[in-house]
Amino acid sequence: MKKNVINKVKEDSKDIVRKVDSNRKYVIKDFRSNWKYILFIFSLIGIEAVLYSISKITPFERTILESTFDNKLPLITQFVYIYISWYILLFMVPYFLFHDKKIDNFYEYCLVYIIMVFISSIIFFIFPTEIIRPDINVKNLSSLILKGIYYIDSPSINCLPSMHCSVCFLYIYYSFKMSNNNKKSKVFFIILSILIIISTMLIKQHLIYDVIAALLLSLFSIIIVKTLKLSKIVKSKIEKTI
């Protein structure tokens, strides 16, 4: 009887050790996965920043675009807060896609993003466009922030297609594709993305032409990835390293 009790205790101890070891491996794997996600997203943003900066030294003549529609739109400096929220979504949307049940959407999003950045950079280099911005009189915080954005993002070239808008169209598309467990997040991302697209015109960062070009670019990039089934190839290679 005593021997059976001892054996039982030993078995229970082994089970506990196995469970602890299993949990430890899961935690380590989850930690590595999150870090790889963070590094991957920072890499995407880094690639975009470098290509965008290089495209600004284009030797080609700039084309100044204007439209009657945009001339009728008022300058609303308060929309600058919505405009800069784009930088938060740049991390939030892919994070939710990464942790969503439909993980394939994350890989697809990343590939579409990369293709859009490369195509945009080529367009920026060979067909640089410029927007004439209004003079800003600093009266409040929003006008001060907007003037700072104008200063940082000068010269005001490489407008078509709008990267802010093309990425927002991706946010909208992939938010719809998220699982229903993220209903509130889906609605939030979609509404905010639409507002960001509108804000690009109301703070005079982009024209309607830039928005239309962004929509066409995002659709074209999605079609390429889906037609060639690139996300499945990338997914299988990435998951082997996680």
Domain segments of the chain as ranges: 2-241
Distance (Å, whole) CA 35 – CA 38: 5
- Distance of alpha carbon 13 from alpha carbon 4, whole angstroms: 14
Per-residue pLDDT of the chain (242 residues; tens, 9 = 90+): 544 544 544 454 444 434 434 443 333 344 345 666 667 677 777 777 777 777 667 667 888 888 889 889 999 999 999 999 999 998 888 888 888 887 788 888 988 998 999 899 889 888 888 888 888 888 899 999 999 999 888 777 788 899 999 999 999 999 998 876 678 888 999 999 999 999 999 999 999 999 999 999 999 999 998 888 776 666 665 555 55
Whether cis (ω within 30° of 0) applies to the bond prior to 155 is: yes
- 157 φ, ψ to 5°? -115, 180
Crossing angle of helices 86-98 and 2-55, in 10° steps, is: 140
